[in-house]
Amino acid sequence: MTYPTDRPAVWFVTGTSRGLGLDLVRQLLERGDAVTATTRSTGRLLAALGDGVDTARLLPLSVDLRDEEQVAAAVRKTTEHFGGLDVVVNNAGYGYLAAVEETGDRDVRDMLDVQVVGVWNVLRAALPGLRAQRSGHVVNVSSVLGLTAVPGWALYCAGKFALEGLSEALAAEVADFGIDVTVVEPGYFRTDFLTRDSLALPETTTEHYPAVREMVAQHLELQGKQLGDPVKGAAAVIDRVVTGEGPLRQLLGSDAHAYATAKVRALTANVDATAATAPATDHPAT
């Protein structure tokens, strides 16, 4: 994508009343760009932005990302209001901490509805326009836990791993249309992510996973002490889009980089360990 320089770029950002999404909206408005900010509560978003931010180029929309019609209407309103769309940021997401067997059916569906179905709804609505104009940038906010999985985070990882697969395929599909795709993989960032307002827990737990309970307690304790600065995180995302330079996956944070490095080494060792056994299932060469 060639980032527009002769007019304000138009951004569509999901999950904006808190955290990284809120910092993105704030910095984009300060740049003079135009932003559609979707949220479950426009009141909370506007209160969080406060009086110090010029909202003339803000279109705040209350959207249930799980609802395809609502998402399509939000993208339509964006192009009607601002005359186009350049950048889509699928940012909305939340954590969920439980052992696999403690994770309820409704909890699984809710997570995948937000982190996979919701993203797909946004893409289905936005891609035809980006494809027709042969320009655009899709940013999908994943996590380093979209690359590596740890005990107690299975459901969150399932959603983010799905987002990674979707994004990698999408990047290859739309490159010829001039559409860029970036997957953002933060480590721990000092947002509301680990507060009880954002983090979900299972309805019931069992006594069989004391290590998971301990991990949950440690993470609630970590709130406010995370390594990553969301102001810098939002700036890094904007910079990646504006310059158009960088790889498909943008890790954010030295913790994320260390986890990803360990995962790549373990995966390489795993792939190497099957080098002799994998070909055994081939049909004989004819």
Residues of this chain that bind ligand NAP (CB under 6 A): 15-21, 39-40, 65, 91-94, 114, 141, 143, 186, 188-189, 191-193, 198, 226
Q: Whose Cβ is closer to ligand NAP: residue 20's or residue 28's?
A: 20
171-176 own/partner pairs: CB under 8 Å, 24+ apart? 171/248, 174/127, 174/130, 174/131, 174/138
Comparing CB distances to ligand NAP, the nearer of 18 and 26 is: 18
Token representation of residue 98: 């439980």
**Separation of alpha carbons 131 and 79, rounded Å:** 14
- Closest contact distance (angstroms) between CB of 198 and ligand NAP is 3
Is the Cβ of residue 247 or residue 279 nearer to ligand NAP in the bound state? 247
Q: Is 143 one of the annotated active-site residues of the chain? A: no
Residue whose beta carbon is closest to ligand NAP:
19
Tell me the Ramachandran region of residue 189: left when phi exceeds 0, alpha when psi lies from -120 to 50, beta otherwise: beta
Which is the catalytic residue, given 96, 156, 209, 259?
156
Nearest distance from residue 281's CB to ligand NAP, in Å? 37
Active-site choice (96, 143, 160, 259): 160
Helix, strand, or coil (residue 60)? strand
Closer to ligand NAP by CB, 11 or 188: give it: 188
167 contact partners, CB below 8 Å, separation of at least 6: 138, 140, 142, 181, 183, 248
- The token duo for 143 is 């996590």
142 in active site: yes
Q: Would you call 232 a catalytic residue per the annotation?
A: no
Closest approach of ligand NAP to the CB of residue 6, in Å: 31
- Residue 189 C-beta: closest distance to ligand NAP, Å: 4
Half-sphere exposure for 141 (CA within 13 Å, toward CB)? 27
Residues that are catalytic: 142, 156, 160
